[in-house]
Amino acid sequence: MLGFRPLPWEYGVRNLFRRPTRSALTLGCLTLVVLLVFVVVGFIRGLETSLAVSGDPEVIFIHALGASENVENSTLPRGTATLLAASLPGVQRRTLPDGSQAAYASEELYLGTNVAVEGDARPTLGLVRGVTPSVLLVRRKVQLIDGDWPKAGEVVVGRLVATKLGRAAAALAVGRQVILEGRSWRISGRFAAAGSAFESELWCPLDDLQQAMKRQDISLVAVTLASGARFAGIDNFCRERLDLELQATPETTYYESLTKHYRPVRMLAWLVVCLVAGAGVFAGLNTMYGAVVGRVRELATLQTLGFTRRAIAFSLVQEGVLLATAAALLAAGIALIFINGTAVRFTMGAFPLFIDSIAILTGCGVGVALGVIGSIPPTLRATRLVIAEGLKAI
């Protein structure tokens, strides 16, 4: 026997084209497996990114004591924003034309309620936020992309509301009607919010929503910190005013708590990635075992020509890795074109699947790993063949 002399690189490549049907089926199977991995990882990254970009480090929630993780259950009297604007230290303000000062404080009524669209009476749980014009001072990521700001009897919808409600985008176009709280509301416009959770919400005038719900309270007051101000000043004020029963929570902290809340969901998604990858390994094993069984005489002949078992094993692994790498690249291309940005519904609203660098690295890494792991057991079988018996095999 000669020393280790690898088979020519092109030998493994030519072998893939010698059996085009088998190679195409293996490529399709591995592509499907890696594509499923991209979908799951894109879901995880989309959820994490949506929650990460939703928080503004300069925005503070003022809500009822004990409702830090469920602001929709918070209840504050209307007019709290006026009281806080006059008393809270460190709130950003601007000078109006008449010389008065306007505080960056937004009173909001936030809740989940059944929403139906024009022409489809099926109600679906939607997220509604009653706001005042000052909301645009605090929610700086919100941009109107179509139509106008809502007037009485109108709503403005986020760009992912259609996904959240499970309806076509045309059903929530400007000028269409939605039904919530027993009233019909005209859609006056659409807005985007840099991929944040606000894009799953319907916004309407606070007064109109309170009248429709027969409520006089609000859920929270969102304020913007002035330059150089700190959260501690607002937090101390809320702690000292025990009569108001208020609690302050930074917006980033609120969404960080949601990220922790959804940790089991993310762990389950990673488990799905492992299960899908495991299924791909078994599929690769079956295919590679079939390839080895059909090439017993060829592998034995290579040994008689002086190629070591290690060289043959290296060539077989090379074939598996080539197929898996091609499948990973094909799946990555499909994911970037057809999956990236696709919106999905979730309990918190809706968010787009995000195929970023981490998702690409994970998907391609899983694909290459499938090629290596799936090739090792058949390769070990091939190296244990007796040359004389292999030459006589049919």
User: In the chain, pLDDT over 90 holds for what percent of residues?
Assistant: 39
End-to-end Cα spacing for the chain: 25
Q: Please tell me the distance from the alpha carbon of residue 41 to that of residue 358, in angstroms, as a whole number.
A: 9
pLDDT of residue 292: 66
pLDDT in tens, 148-196: 999 999 999 999 999 999 898 999 999 999 999 889 999 999 999 998 9
Provide the whole-model pTM.
0.84
pLDDT of residue 245: 85
pLDDT of residue 198: 93
Q: Please tell me the distance from the alpha carbon of residue 387 to that of residue 183, in angstroms, as a whole number.
A: 83
Task: Pick 264 or 320 by higher pLDDT.
Answer: 264
The yes-or-no verdict on residue 1 having pLDDT over 60 is no
DSSP 299: H
pLDDT in tens, 302-315: 777 777 777 777 87
pLDDT of residue 178: 94
pLDDT in tens, 223-246: 998 888 888 888 888 888 877 788
DSSP secondary structure string for all residues of 77-130 = ETTHHHHHHHH-TTB-EEE-TTS-EEE-EEEEEEEEEEEEETTEEEEEEEEEEE
pLDDT of residue 386: 66
Q: Please tell me the distance from the alpha carbon of residue 347 to that of residue 290, in angstroms, as a whole number.
A: 45
To the nearest 10 degrees (0 to 180), the angle between helices 296-304 and 309-334 is 130
pLDDT in tens, 35-79: 999 999 999 999 999 988 888 999 998 999 877 667 888 889 888
